[in-house]
Chains A and B, each alone.
Chain A
Amino acid sequence: MSEPKRLTREDVAHVADLARLALSEEELDLFTGQLAQVLDHAADVASLDLAGVKPTAHAMAVTNVVRADEPRPCVDRDEVLAQAPSVEGHRFRVPRILGEAP
């Protein structure tokens, strides 16, 4: 397998945006160097020829775990809502979500 290209400052800015993190210019520089170093170390993995090896996502995979479909008590709604930064009428309240002015 061919090795991927080296991580750039633009890559870091892009993933920070995807992950909803705002970085300062200094953080961008610092993180680019540090993350590139980690990915360089991972080149030993990225460069291996492992075609035909099955990936393992879970070492002790258990599948189709479902409980009986019976009503039962759950976590108290008011107790959950009491932890939220903002609530209105039994719902979580957030600022506007659409692009236009409110």
Chain B
Amino acid sequence: MSSPRPSMALANTIRSGGRSALDVLEEHLAVIEANEGEIHAFNLVTADMARDQAIAVDRQVAAGEDPGLLAGVPVALKDNLCTRGVPTTCSSRILDGWEPPYDATVVTRLRNAGAVIVGKTNMDEFAMGSSTETSAFGPTRNPHDTTRVPGGSSGGSAAAVAAGFAPLALGSDTGGSIRQPAALCGVVGMKPTYGTVSRYGLIAFASSLDQIGPFATTVADAALLFDVIGGHDPLDSTSLNRPTPRVLSVLDDGVNGLTVGVLTEFLDGADPDVVARTHQAAEALAAAGARVEEVSVPEVALGLSAYYLIAPGEASSNLARYDGVRYGLRVEAPDTATMNTATRSAGFGAEVKRRIMLGTYVLSAGYMDAYYNQALRVRTKIIEGFTTAYERCDVLLGPTAPTTAFPLGAKTGDPLTMYLSDVCTIPTNLAGHPAVSVPFGTGDDGLPIGIQLLGPNLSEGTILKVAAVVEAAAPAPSLPYLVKGARP
């Protein structure tokens, strides 16, 4: 069975003149207008800019030109992706009023493919969080149950796709920030291999871990979006200068002859309903012809600790640039040092301050070797553990998150508990590998569960074709209340 391709079908309809891009856009803007007040997926809806883009696409079609693979398809962008002349906030007060002087490479590629950018989505401040609750502009709510979080940090992008505000969205994933909200909102989300998608114009959080990736309602649509945004970019010095996996062409190849390892460490600590769904997904793959076995990679249990030493370390350095001098907020003071401190203290929220201080501490003299350098050695061990597993298995399978969406406010008072939401997604980032979350039925509470497929570097084609089989076998999904027409 082929993974459904609604965005590609929409683009093809627009390319062939069957429907105007402006009509498609207005339909999506109407859904946003009706429901955004309750969901708060966006920091900014760029309706006027989107109309200009849609009209331009329609003109191209009328002139007999091909606007591109995503002709007229509305796309939502996480608000840490630079858009020229359009406010880009990272959901932080410290970037108040800032309008980037350039577009991120992914934004340029979307425009060149004919996509229509509908808005900038809410996120945890500087992508630091797992629930979108650290946003300076208030939380996003889960479209499946508005008393629950959408996950994070790309919660606005995940919610926008789940709510039907846009069929596609981009997020960034440093420790799970695409996959975890995708799981909690019942959509597909992928973190590609480090270096396959240009990060030029992505506001940095932890540079050795950050990666941009797609959100979509289906595996094939996520593959399509990855094909559009991926590929070498000379503007990003960490961009891989080698062919990016082309994924759409292999999506329907099935899992015959593949070995799938169920990662036992990811089942430890997961809720029983999440564990049950994981086993059910594994059985579906076995029924489709894959060899399924249990695999242990003990090193991944150290991932969370290593991550919360490495990522804050890198963040403390990256966020030093917010000093009130060149852009964004400035709190005036008689001298520059006092101005720097006043600006940063007023501009950053509590979670960002925590991570800056944690990072400064683990990089400071006397502690760097015990914490930061030690975490980098653990990173080596995690990569070695995965490498051993991938000698036996083509892909690894586990849950994306240990629980379904939790209630708003449930974890905001306890940072460590919040950090544990990312326990299944972090090891992938430390290794640089790709992984995708695909919706697979619901938990006992009726909320979406995501199954995660992990693979070695540049295995996007493999993990996505396995995800397509999981998708085809998925039990009935949870429906957003917007679709059901009734609130829970």
Contacts and interface: CB of A to CB of B under 8 A. Distances in A.
B345 A75 contact: no
A48 B380 CA distance: 13
Contacts, number: 181
Q: Which 6 A-B pairs have the closest CB atoms?
A: A59-B432, A55-B376, A85-B330, A50-B377, A65-B237, A53-B377
Given A1-B374, A41-B305, A83-B99, A15 B357 contact: yes
A23 B348 CA distance: 12
Contact of A59 (B99, B101, B360, B383): B383
Contacts of A35: 354, 357-358, 361
B376 to A, nearest CB: 3
Interface string A1-37: 1111001000110011011111100010001001101
Given A31-B353, A38-B358, A42-B308, A92 B376 contact: no
B359 to A, nearest CB: 8
Contact of B357 (A19, A62, A67): A19
B16 interface: no
A2 B371 CA distance: 11
A61 B256 CA distance: 33
Given A16-B357, A19-B316, A55-B377, 13 more contacts: A3-B370, A20-B344, A37-B416, A38-B416, A45-B305, A48-B377, A48-B378, A53-B381, A55-B380, A59-B194, A59-B432, A83-B326, A95-B338
Contacts of B364: 15, 18
A35 B302 CA distance: 18
Contacts of B336: 94-97
A48 B345 CA distance: 36
Interface of A: 1-4, 7, 11-12, 15-16, 18-23, 27, 31, 34-35, 37-39, 41-46, 48, 50, 53-60, 62, 65, 67, 75-76, 79-80, 83-86, 92, 94-97, 99
Chief secondary structure at chain A's binding surface? loop
B234 interface: yes
B306 A45 contact: yes
A49 to B, nearest CB: 10
A34 B415 contact: yes
A94 B339 contact: yes
A57 B376 contact: yes
Chief secondary structure at chain B's binding surface? helix
A16 B367 CA distance: 16
A54 B380 CA distance: 7
Given A21-B356, A31-B353, A62-B238, A92 B195 contact: no
B486 interface: no
A96 B334 CA distance: 7
B330 A56 contact: no
B324 interface: yes
B51 to A, nearest CB: 24
B344 A21 contact: yes
B193 interface: yes
Contacts of B324: 85
A45 B302 contact: yes
Contacts of A15: 357, 360-361, 364
